[in-house]
Amino acid sequence: MAGLTVLLPKFIQWTARALRPPMNHFAGSEGALAVDAMIQAPRRSSATVGALMIGLMFVFSTGAFIQSFEGVMDRWMKRMLNADLIVASSQLLRSPTYHFSEELGAKISRLPDVKTVENVRYAMIPSQMIPPR
């Protein structure tokens, strides 16, 4: 990225000189003036292009990270949370006030067509709050 940033003014100048004839033909005097401004001040143009390039790099890399993490979590959940039925004491799978007894798990395991039962208890671990300033 640093090397491209250093070479960007020269790339802008070369590109502007290559674009000068078509811009003069298709965009008229306004296009020619725009390309001439790029040729005369390549550092100014390269700063704008560089900032846009770095911003787009952050957007695409963040998007790639999010897609990758979503795929990892999806595969993990399909592999680990593959139960046909989940019996819970609340809709959020955890309740700080009520827990099922182990006898309920034993009763469910004795039902016909039940192959395995896993007793799981989710715990809430309080984290320390950062005091406001």
**Tens-place pLDDT, residues 49-61:** 788 888 999 999 9
Q: Is 24 helix (H, G, I), strand (E, B) or coil?
A: helix
Q: What rounded mean pLDDT belongs to the chain? A: 80
pLDDT band per the 50, 70, 90 thresholds, residue 128: low
Task: Check whether 67 has a pLDDT greater than 90.
Answer: yes
Determine the pLDDT at residue 59: 96
Evaluate whether residue 130 is within a structural domain: no
Is 126 a member of any domain? Answer: no
Residue 17 lies in a domain: yes
What's the domain count of the chain? 1
Q: Are 114 and 108 in contact (CB under 8 A)?
A: yes
Give pLDDT tens digits for 70-124.
999 989 888 887 777 777 776 666 666 677 778 888 898 899 988 888 877 766 6
Number of helices (H) and strands (E), helices first, in the chain? 4, 0
Q: What is the domain extent for residue 41?
A: 2-109
Residue ranges of alpha helices (H) inside 27-110 are 28-40, 42-80, 102-109
Q: How far apart are CA 82 and CA 105, in angstroms?
A: 18
Are 128 and 117 within 8 A, CB to CB? no
Tokens at 45, concatenated = 């143009």
* 8 domain residue, yes or no: yes
User: Tell me, what amino acid is at 29?
Assistant: S
Q: What is the pTM of this model?
A: 0.48
Structural element, H or E, at residue 13: helix 2-26
In a domain, 37, yes or no: yes
> Cβ neighbours of residue 36 under 8 Å, at least 6 residues apart?
20
